[in-house]
Amino acid sequence: MAHQSLRIILLARDIELRIVSLIVRAREGAAEVLLMDLGSNDSTVEYAQEIGCEVLHFTNEVTLQNIASFLLDSNLERIDSTLVLSITNQWKLRDLPLSINRALEEWDIHFSHRVEEVDAESIDDLVLGSAILQHVVLTHPGMEALAYLGPLARTADLDEQLRVRIVEAQMNVGIPQRESLATASRFAQLFYWMLETKHPLLLFGIPGIVLFILGYKLSGNVVGALEELNSTSISVTLATIAMTLIGLFGIMVALILYIMGKQVEQIQSQYDWPARKSQ
């Protein structure tokens, strides 16, 4: 089979901790990688743009027909195959090579989907707009065929001349894969994120934990070692107690600020707060 050019589109929202690793790994197997953002409220778009990834803003309902129409209207350069990946919490980076392999096969439409309820009907009766996207591979003819279908179109309504495969998503075979930075070093990724965002768990939590542990360890040794009661022993003892209390206070402040920050983000996201968009 001749070498095919492939475009990978990441369909996602609020994945700032994963976006860089996803784009870097996807570029290893594709000629072009794009982010189709679903309205992120974090720094997903900014991180993608920093590493030169084009961002498309998708605001419609996530259905196969809407995605195909949106890609056609975006006037992207024509390419052999387009792989659209739905990046959710269940999707793992180790699934990427298998999805790329599907994209290199000779399918005009290869649609992997999930269904919320078990349906006894045949695959021909599947309503395309109701299926939950896992990934879809589209050639230009396949993209055009989907774009012109109605919202209630079924699998049987697709052109018979197209090479189509519709499959229900299943757990992939656990073959060995190279681990990404996101999987191999979760702590390093979290630490970098806390540095970038000046997170309260870093600013108050880590110093608080250090002071609390040191104060707790020193308090027992100081009290046992200083048998004579004088101004020096009292000062050292009070210093260790103060260190312990300051550390405990720092831990409590970090937890309170972290919880409050999450609540503020949830409220801003729920009510579409203008200040959140400007950040």
Q: Is residue 137 part of a domain?
A: yes
**pLDDT on residue 54:** 94
Residue owning tokens 């189509």: 164
Q: pLDDT tens for residues 127-181?
A: 887 888 888 999 999 999 898 888 888 888 888 888 888 887 765 444 555 555 5
Which residue among 131, 160, 184 closes a domain? Answer: 184
Strand partners of residue 35:
10, 55
Q: Is residue 192 part of a domain?
A: no
Last residue of a domain, one of 184, 213, 231: 184
Same structural domain, 170 and 245: no
Same domain (yes/no): 97, 137: yes
Give the Cα separation of 151 and 13 in Å (integer). 23
93-138 tens-digit pLDDT: 888 888 888 888 888 998 888 765 545 456 767 788 788 888 899 9
Max mean pLDDT among 8-12, 16-20, 194-198 falls in: 8-12
Mark whether 61 and 175 lie in a shared domain: yes
Q: Is the pLDDT of residue 273 over 50?
A: yes
Q: Evaluate whether residue 45 is within a structural domain.
A: yes
Give this prediction's pTM: 0.59
14: in domain: yes
CB neighbour burial string for 212-247, b if at least 16 within 10 angstroms, e if fewer: beebeebbeebeeeeeeeeeeeeebbeebbebbeeb
Same domain for 212 and 74, yes or no, is no
Whether 12 has a pLDDT exceeding 70, the answer reads yes
Domain range enclosing 269: 198-277
Residue with tokens 């972290």: 258
Label the pairing between strands 132-138 and 81-86.
Answer: antiparallel
Tell me the pLDDT of the chain averaged across its residues: 78
Pair (175, 66) in one structural domain: yes
Clarify whether residues 81 and 143 are in a common domain.
yes
**What pLDDT, on a 0 to 100 scale, did the predictor assign at position 209?**
82
**Same structural domain for residues 203 and 180?**
no
pLDDT grade for 53, boundaries at 50, 70 and 90: very high
Give how many domains the chain has, as a whole number. 2
| Averaged pLDDT, 237-255 | 79
**Residue that finishes a domain, picked among 184, 219, 234:** 184
Average pLDDT over residues 44-70: 92
- The CATH number of residue 107's host domain is 3.90.550
* The one-letter amino acid at 259: I
Q: Are residues 150 and 243 in the same domain?
A: no
In a domain, 191, yes or no: no
Q: Identify whether 189 is part of a domain.
A: no
Indicate if the pLDDT at residue 274 is higher than 80: no
